[in-house]
Structure 1
Amino acid sequence: MTTTHILEGPGVRLHYEIRGTGPLLLIMGAPMDASAFAPLAEALASDHTVVTHDPRGISRSVLDDPEQDSTPELRADDVAALLDALGAESADVFGSSGGAVTGLALVARHPGRVRTLVAHEPPVVELLPDAAEQRAKVEDLVETFHRDGLEAAWRKFMAGAGFEDGADGAPVAAPDEPSLQDLANSARFFGHELRGTSLYRPDIDALRTGPSRVEVGIGADSGGLDTFRTSTALAELLGRPPVGFPGDHGGFMGDPQGFAEALRKVLADGA
């Protein structure tokens, strides 16, 4: 059984969903919404209380100011407020892509609210030796979107990040026949979220020395992606080897059951 809820926060009505029973586990993306994680959440709901949500400005989480940029810090504060609404002092957190960056900000900004964070392929390009080049690529993507539109921006994004044509592991699905909501989410991604997420610089000291356990996840088939490089760089700075997960950047969609088992193991190792 899934229940849906709305949390009224500063400037946002946050949509979230609750499934299952057991230890509290928050699963999140950015800009992927709750629906993208539904199969994974269902696979985990037999032994966890799983909470998913639409990030601010995406799908059913409506902003008072649609032009407000989405930053990891703002999204982290939303998740902390969500924990408050759930009456939870702390929770385990799984974040993928931009949701992993949200998790990194949550650990740094709200010490003690996260028991274990599994940060799956965060695109933190500032940690790379070619950060200046990566920064320029991000700015070019944003400019391409504003100048040439969504289709051109998606083509450039997919090619630049290492995704093959037709791959479904990108941070937002780019379907052949997108809905109006797909188009709105994609426009928000390029216009108001990509820059803040990709150029976020994690607080390595807070991640290493704080009360939360932080694990970096990498897909078994992600070797050709930029997120393999960023995840490896983050794991090295944290002094812990990355954890392998099935599939690529969107492995939780292709094999939710196998992905759930891998995630259970990581969380159990930290219990």
Structure 2
Amino acid sequence: MTTQTVLTLDVDDARLYYELRGTGPLVVLVGAPMDADSFAPLADLLATDYTVLTTDPRGINRSPLDNPDQDSTPAQRAADLAALITHVGAGPAIALGSSGGAVSVLALAELYPDSVSRVIAHEPPLLNLLDDRVEQNALSEDLRATYLSGDVVGAWEKFFAQANIFLPPGMAAEMFGGERDTQSMVDERFWFGHELGPSVSWEPRLDTLRDGPVRIVVGIGEESGGQLCERTSTALAAGLGVEPTRFPGGHTGFADDPATFEPVLRAVLAEG
């Protein structure tokens, strides 16, 4: 296990928790809502050759907001990442974001292109790139309303159904019902209430990203066939005029099997 340095950075409306590992060119690994812990095993593997920055996104776990009832938008998360990269002083970075974190790094490339030389957007759930965007946005609004009404298990069942990720009968109740860790429940409520909606409804400026100085890599899991995020990622790649890169595993392959994910990521990081 690589030695990590735990730090915080105060921004206007939040305190951002982040960790640094290793030495070398700066690589940022980020999720939303996944926190720094989710990326720690992959960060350890990369830290032999890179300085690796991981962080809890605003409002999640150890990155508290001054106002916990405010939304977390891709633009805000991009500003946070740009501030962290500037603070560390090792940019421009290469940034890998997964799921909502992929939306964050796309916003980073769009709004703060001097902070980053390349972004790897792994399965961003950008519903407005789809032909059936109206239906998909309605499904997303419904599952969020279901959660906020108090039906946690029902909301997760709707979430996985929309994502086209199969769960065996009763699995959602086993995973999300009953007593759970307090922090995970707090983070979950923030995600459903304040982060999920702004992330899935964000519309990238495809011309800005396509014609800008930041190279965009669109990542899709090899096991994500037929899932919603394969559709959104394929649409993004088409809009940018790039071929998607297949990574081992599914939507969370970087966390499920980081040792298998890492060689493919290293190959992408080494590309000019």
Pairwise TM-score range, normalised by the shorter structure: over 0.9
Partner in structure 1 of residue 211 of structure 2: 209
Partner in structure 2 of residue 106 of structure 1: 108
User: Could you tell me which of 249, 252, 255 is aligned with 1:250?
Assistant: 252
Asked whether the 8 Å contact 1:219–1:246 carries over to 2, the reply is: yes
Deviations 1:48-101 (A, max 9, x none): 110000000000000000001000000000001101110134100000000000
Asked whether the 8 Å contact 1:150–1:186 carries over to 2, the reply is: no
Distance of 1:29 and 1:143 partners within structure 2: 23
Unmatched 5+ stretches in structure 1:
167-172
Number of aligned pairs?
Answer: 264
Deviation of 1:156 (Å): 1.2
The amino acid that maps onto 1:80 is A
Partner in structure 2 of residue 151 of structure 1: 153
Partner in structure 2 of residue 97 of structure 1: 99
Partner in structure 1 of residue 87 of structure 2: 85
Moved more, 114-123 or 249-258: 249-258
Asked whether the 8 Å contact 1:150–1:187 carries over to 2, the reply is: no
Asked whether the 8 Å contact 1:107–1:206 carries over to 2, the reply is: no
Partner in structure 1 of residue 18 of structure 2: 16
Deviation of 1:20 (Å): 1.0
User: Could you tell me which of 41, 66, 72 is aligned with 2:43?
Assistant: 41
Deviation of 1:112 (Å): 2.2
Distance of 2:208 and 2:54 partners within structure 1: 25
Moved more, 50-59 or 200-209: 200-209
1:265 aligns with 2:267: yes
Deviation of 1:174 (Å): 5.1
Structure 1 vs Structure 2 CA RMSD = 1.4
TM-score by length of 2: 0.94
Deviation of 1:165 (Å): 1.5
Moved more, 127-136 or 139-148: 139-148
Unmatched 5+ stretches in structure 2:
169-174
Partner in structure 1 of residue 142 of structure 2: 140
1:125 aligns with 2:127: yes
Partner in structure 2 of residue 116 of structure 1: 118
Deviation of 1:144 (Å): 0.7
Asked whether the 8 Å contact 2:124–2:229 carries over to 1, the reply is: yes
Q: Look up the SS of the partner of 2:269 in the other structure.
A: helix
Deviation of 1:258 (Å): 1.6
Once the two structures are aligned, what percentage of the paired residues are identical?
50
Deviations 1:19-74 (A, max 9, x none): 11111000000010000111111111111110000000000000000001000000
Asked whether the 8 Å contact 2:127–2:136 carries over to 1, the reply is: yes
Partner in structure 1 of residue 172 of structure 2: none
Deviation of 1:148 (Å): 3.3
Asked whether the 8 Å contact 2:86–2:115 carries over to 1, the reply is: no
Deviation of 1:176 (Å): 7.5
Partner in structure 1 of residue 171 of structure 2: none
Partner in structure 2 of residue 227 of structure 1: 229
Distance of 1:123 and 1:22 partners within structure 2: 31
Partner in structure 2 of residue 189 of structure 1: 191
TM-score by length of 1: 0.94
